[in-house]
Amino acid sequence: MRRVRNAFSTLSAVVVKEMKIMSRYPGFLFMVAAIPFMFGGMIMGIGYAVAGPSAFANFAANTGVGNPLLYTTLGGVLMIGSMLLVENTAGIIREEQMMGTFELHYLTPNSTMLLWLFHSLSTSLLTLMIMAVDVAAVLAWQGSLLSPAEWLVAALVTLLGLLPLAGIGLAVAALTVRFKEVWAIANVVSSFIALLSGFYYPLEVFPAAVRLISQALPTSHAAQILRSVMSEGLSAARLQLWERIALMAALGAAYLLLGRALYSRWEDEARSRGELSKY
Amino acid sequence: MLQPIKAVNLVKAFTTREGGQLLRGRRRVVEALRGVSFEVRKGGVFGLLGPNGAGKTTTIKILSTLLLPDAGDAWVMGYHVVREAAKVREVIGVSLYSDRGFYWKLSGRENLAYFARLYHLDSKYAKERIRYLLKLLDLEEDADRLVEEYSTGMKSKLNIARALLHDPPVLFLDEPTIGLDPNSARKVREVILDLKREGKTVLLTTHNMFEADMVCDRVAIISKGQIVAVGAPSELKAKVAEHKAIEVSLVGYSESIEESLRNTPGVLGVATRLRDPVAGVADLKVVYDSDLSLREALSKLLASNAKVLSVKSVEPTLEEVFVVMTGERLEEG
Beta-bridge partners for B17: B27
Mean predicted confidence (pLDDT) in B212-230: 91
- Residue B45: predicted pLDDT: 96
User: CB of A35 within 8 A of CB of A80?
Assistant: yes
Is the pLDDT reported for residue B231 higher than 60?
yes
Find the chain A residues whose C-beta atoms sit closer than 8 A to any C-beta of B: 5-6, 9-10, 12-13, 16-17, 20-21, 24-25, 99-101, 103-110, 115, 271-274, 276-277
Is the pLDDT reported for residue B143 higher than 60?
yes
Comparing CB atoms, the residue among A12, A24, A103 nearest residue B105 is: A24
Residues B96 and B218 grouped into a single domain: yes
Residue B326 lies in a domain: no
Residues B162 and B227 grouped into a single domain: yes
What 3-state DSSP class applies to B201?
Answer: strand
- Residue B332: predicted pLDDT: 47
Residue B13 lies in a domain: yes
Q: Which CATH number covers residue B285?
A: 3.30.70.100
B261 Cα to chain A: minimum distance (Å): 39
Comparing CB atoms, the residue among B101, B105, B120 nearest residue A104 is: B101
Residues of chain A found within 8 Å of residue B102, distances taken between Cβ atoms: 99-101
**Closest-CA residue of chain B to A273:** B14
The per-residue DSSP string of A104-166 comes to: HHHHSSS-HHHHHHHHHHHHHHHHHHHHHHHHHHHHHHTT----HHHHHHHHHHHHHHHTHHH
**CB burial of residue B4 (10 Å; 0-12, 13-18, 19+):** buried
Q: How many domains does the structure of chain B reveal?
A: 2
Is the pLDDT reported for residue A270 higher than 60?
yes
Query: Which amino acid is located at B163 in the chain?
Result: A
Residues of chain B found within 8 Å of residue A277, distances taken between Cβ atoms: 66, 96
Q: Which CATH number covers residue B78?
A: 3.40.50.300
How far apart CA B52 and CA B37 sit, in angstroms, is 19
How far apart CA A137 and CA A130 sit, in angstroms, is 11
What pLDDT digit, counting tens, does each position of A86-116 carry?
A: 888 888 888 898 899 999 999 999 998 889 9
Residue B332 lies in a domain: no
- Residue A235: predicted pLDDT: 64
**Out of B14-28, B242-256, B274-288, least confident range:** B14-28
How far apart CA B160 and CA B171 sit, in angstroms, is 9
Parent domain of B35 = 5-237
Residues B194 and B291 grouped into a single domain: no
Direct distance between the N- and C-terminal alpha carbons of chain A, in angstroms, rounded to an integer: 38
Residue B205 lies in a domain: yes
Residues B197 and B283 grouped into a single domain: no
B323: nearest Cα among B287, B284, B275, B282: B287
**Out of A19-33, A170-184, B47-61, least confident range:** A170-184
Q: How far, in Å, are A94, A125, A127, B101, B116 from residue A19 at the CA level?
A: 20, 9, 12, 19, 17
What pLDDT digit, counting tens, does each position of A186-213 carry?
A: 899 999 999 999 888 888 888 999 999 9
User: CB of A271 within 8 A of CB of B68?
Assistant: yes
Residues B113 and B207 grouped into a single domain: yes
Residues B84 and B148 grouped into a single domain: yes
Residue B329 lies in a domain: no
B273 Cα to chain A: minimum distance (Å): 29
- Residue A129: predicted pLDDT: 85
Residues B232 and B103 grouped into a single domain: yes
**Closest-CA residue of chain A to B70:** A272
Instruction: Answer yes or no: do B105 and A104 touch at CB < 8 A.
Output: no
Residues B181 and B110 grouped into a single domain: yes
User: CB of B164 within 8 A of CB of B11?
Assistant: no
Residues B197 and B248 grouped into a single domain: no
Mean predicted confidence (pLDDT) in A239-252: 83
Mean predicted confidence (pLDDT) in B125-154: 95
* Residue A184 CA, distance from chain mean position: 18
How far apart CA A68 and CA A48 sit, in angstroms, is 12
What's the residue count for chain B?
333
Comparing CB atoms, the residue among A17, A100, A271 nearest residue B101 is: A100
Instruction: Answer yes or no: do A20 and B100 touch at CB < 8 A.
Output: no
Residues of chain A found within 8 Å of residue B61, distances taken between Cβ atoms: 274
Instruction: pLDDT band for A275, please (50, 70, 90 cuts).
Output: confident
- Residue A138: predicted pLDDT: 86
How far apart CA A221 and CA A229 sit, in angstroms, is 12
Percentage of chain B exceeding pLDDT 90: 53
What residues have CB less than 8 Å from B167, skipping those under 6 apart?
B129
What pLDDT digit, counting tens, does each position of A249-260 carry?
A: 999 899 999 999
Structure-model confidence comparison of residues B18 and A111, the more confident one: A111
Instruction: pLDDT band for B107, please (50, 70, 90 cuts).
Output: very high
Find the chain B residues whose C-beta atoms sit closer than 8 A to any C-beta of A: 12, 14-15, 58, 61, 64-68, 86, 89-90, 92, 94, 96-97, 100-106, 110, 114-115, 117-120, 146, 162
Is the pLDDT reported for residue B88 higher than 90?
yes
Residue B130 lies in a domain: yes
What pLDDT digit, counting tens, does each position of A126-140 carry?
A: 888 888 888 888 888
B137 Cα to chain A: minimum distance (Å): 20
- Residue A233: predicted pLDDT: 67
What residues have CB less than 8 Å from B11, skipping those under 6 apart?
B33, B34, B35, B36, B69, B70, B71, B72
Instruction: Identify from B27, B92, B100, B122 which residue to disrupt to test chain A contact, counting A C-beta atoms within 10 A and taking the largest count.
Output: B100
**CB burial of residue A26 (10 Å; 0-12, 13-18, 19+):** exposed
Mean predicted confidence (pLDDT) in B186-200: 92
Mean predicted confidence (pLDDT) in B313-319: 77
What pLDDT digit, counting tens, does each position of B273-300 carry?
A: 888 888 889 988 888 888 888 899 889 8
User: CB of B241 within 8 A of CB of B78?
Assistant: no
User: CB of A41 within 8 A of CB of A142?
Assistant: no
Interface pTM (ipTM) of the complex?
0.86
Residues B106 and B203 grouped into a single domain: yes
B211: nearest Cα among B49, B41, B95, B87: B49
Instruction: Identify from A4, A107, A112 which residue to disrupt to test chain B contact, counting B C-beta atoms within 10 A and taking the largest count.
Output: A107
| DSSP 8-state assignment for residue B149 | G
What 3-state DSSP class applies to B105?
Answer: coil
Residues B50 and B125 grouped into a single domain: yes
User: CB of B261 within 8 A of CB of B295?
Assistant: no
B171, containing H or E segment: strand B170-174
Instruction: Answer yes or no: do A276 and B58 touch at CB < 8 A.
Output: no
How far apart CA B65 and CA B5 sit, in angstroms, is 13
Within 10 angstroms of residue B59's Cβ, the number of other Cβ atoms is 30
Is the pLDDT reported for residue B203 higher than 90?
yes
What 3-state DSSP class applies to B329?
Answer: coil
In this structure, are strands B5-18 and B26-40 parallel, antiparallel, or unpaired? antiparallel
In this structure, are strands B281-288 and B218-223 parallel, antiparallel, or unpaired? unpaired
Residues of chain B found within 8 Å of residue A109, distances taken between Cβ atoms: 86, 89-90, 119-120
Q: How far, in Å, are A13, A112, A173, A233, B119 from residue A106 at the CA level?
A: 15, 6, 16, 46, 11
Instruction: pLDDT band for B38, please (50, 70, 90 cuts).
Output: very high
User: CB of B90 within 8 A of CB of B167?
Assistant: no
What pLDDT digit, counting tens, does each position of A38-60 carry?
A: 998 998 899 899 989 888 888 88
B255: nearest Cα among B234, B232, B238, B271: B271
Instruction: Identify from A12, A104, A110, A271 which residue to disrupt to test chain B contact, counting B C-beta atoms within 10 A and taking the largest count.
Output: A104
What 3-state DSSP class applies to B25?
Answer: coil
Backbone angles phi, psi at A111, to 5 degrees: -75, 125
How far apart CA A23 and CA B205 sit, in angstroms, is 38
Residue B99 lies in a domain: yes
How far apart CA B79 and CA B85 sit, in angstroms, is 8
Give the count of Cβ contacts less than 8 A between chain A and B. Answer: 83
Instruction: Answer yes or no: do B114 and A17 touch at CB < 8 A.
Output: yes
Residues B81 and B200 grouped into a single domain: yes
How far apart CA A168 and CA A172 sit, in angstroms, is 6
Residue B33 lies in a domain: yes
Query: Residues A148-165, buried b or exposed e (16+ Cβ, 10 A)?
Result: eebbebbeebbbbbbbbb
Is the pLDDT reported for residue A238 higher than 60?
no
How far apart CA A121 and CA A14 sit, in angstroms, is 9
Kindly give the interhelix angle for A112-141 and A148-162, rounded to the nearest 10 degrees. Answer: 140
User: CB of B76 within 8 A of CB of B5?
Assistant: yes
- Residue B322: predicted pLDDT: 77
Query: Which amino acid is located at B29 in the chain?
Result: V
Beta-bridge partners for B48: B205, B220
